[in-house]
Structure 1
Amino acid sequence: MSQNQSPQLLPTGEIQNLPRLAFENWFEYAIRAHPHHTDYAGVVWHGSYLTWMEEARVECLRSIGIELADLVALGCDLPVVELSIRYHRPIKLGMAAIVKTRMVNVSGVKINWDYQIQSPNFQDLYVSAQVTLVAIDRERGKIMRQLPEAMKEALARLAAIGEK
């Protein structure tokens, strides 16, 4: 490698080699880096990416008929219990990007999601991540035995869309 080239980060095996469902459809959510997302140098702060990923996941769920407010009313919460994130390239003030998310699989009350944050032309990868959520009974503060029926039905619709 010459002195003028900076090293390129390889994707992490933990993210790239996780088991996948048969579908490849991604939900896409457009973002733009505003001043409150950045540090003093105009580079997006690492935590801003997490906020964008959650926004994309919430909008993806909304697109299949799951409103988080409705889940809360049912007594269900979906906290993040595991997160793996790889920062490939920085996003800077004013830049636009696309947050892509997809449900990878559901195992009992655990829901796994993949993320990629890319340039609008999909040529540059800024972030890749994997998040695991688990359904919690809000009243008891314990893991639920099974997902609420309305959520199971909506997630089945999401999986059916992805398999087409």
Structure 2
Amino acid sequence: MIKEYEHHAQYYETDQMGCVHHSNFIRWMEEARIDMMEQMGCGYRAMEHAGIMSPVLEVRCQYRNMVHFDDRIRIRVSIKAYNAIRMTLEYEMRDAASGKLMASGESSHCFLNREGRPISLKRIHPQWDEAFIQAMEQLK
């Protein structure tokens, strides 16, 4: 069972208006993605040791409500699309206390070898391919 990621907003993440600067939401999405993949058994460190990279192809974020210092944000990651070569993830960032939607986003990634060429996890690492398929079903 993959658990949601929780981020505790830090003072240094805030801007002059006293709310968390918008760029931090993208960082939080990355934190949640890395946590999800660790829970799946195919974390970034393991992938990189296996010669597999997963760069960001595209990222977007919709800001709905301000987040302030000391807020706790729960981030739910779901796999929107996966085909062993590319994946698209969706994120919901909610206030941990109220459940209020603070932001939502999406990121797209691919899988590359060390030379920067696309690879298929299904062929190169079938157990990780299976983990992504299972997570996609679980996180719907």
TM (norm. structure 2) is 0.87
In the alignment, which residue of structure 1 is the partner of 2:23?
A: 47
Give the direction of change, closer, same or farther, for the CA distance of 1:76–1:35 in structure 2 (3 Å limit).
Answer: same
Structure 2 distance, partners of 1:105, 1:38, is 33
| Shift, 1:150, TM fit | 3.0
| Structure 1: gaps spanning 5 or more residues | 1-24
Give the direction of change, closer, same or farther, for the CA distance of 1:162–1:39 in structure 2 (3 Å limit).
Answer: closer
Structure 1 distance, partners of 2:11, 2:28, is 15
Percent identical among aligned pairs is: 20
**Letter matched to residue 124 of structure 1:** K
The root-mean-square deviation of aligned C-alpha atoms, in Å, is 2.0
Out of 126, 143, 154, the position equivalent to 2:131 is 154
| Shift, 1:52, TM fit | 0.9
Structure 2 distance, partners of 1:75, 1:112, is 21
Secondary structure of 1:156's counterpart equals helix
Superposed counterparts of 1:79-158, under 5 Å = 79-138=55-114, 140-144=115-119, 146-147=120-121, 148-158=125-135
Secondary structure of 2:60's counterpart equals strand
Q: Deviations over 1:98-154 (max 9, x none)?
A: 11111112024111111011111454211111111100112x11222x123232021
Q: How many residues align?
A: 137
**Equivalent residues of 2:2, 2:39 under 8 A apart:** no
Give the direction of change, closer, same or farther, for the CA distance of 1:102–1:162 in structure 2 (3 Å limit).
Answer: closer
**Equivalent residues of 1:26, 1:102 under 8 A apart:** no
Q: Larger C-alpha radius of gyration, 1 or 2?
A: 1
| Shift, 1:159, TM fit | 3.1
In the alignment, which residue of structure 2 is the partner of 1:73?
A: 49
Matched, 1:34 2:10: yes
TM (norm. structure 1) is 0.75
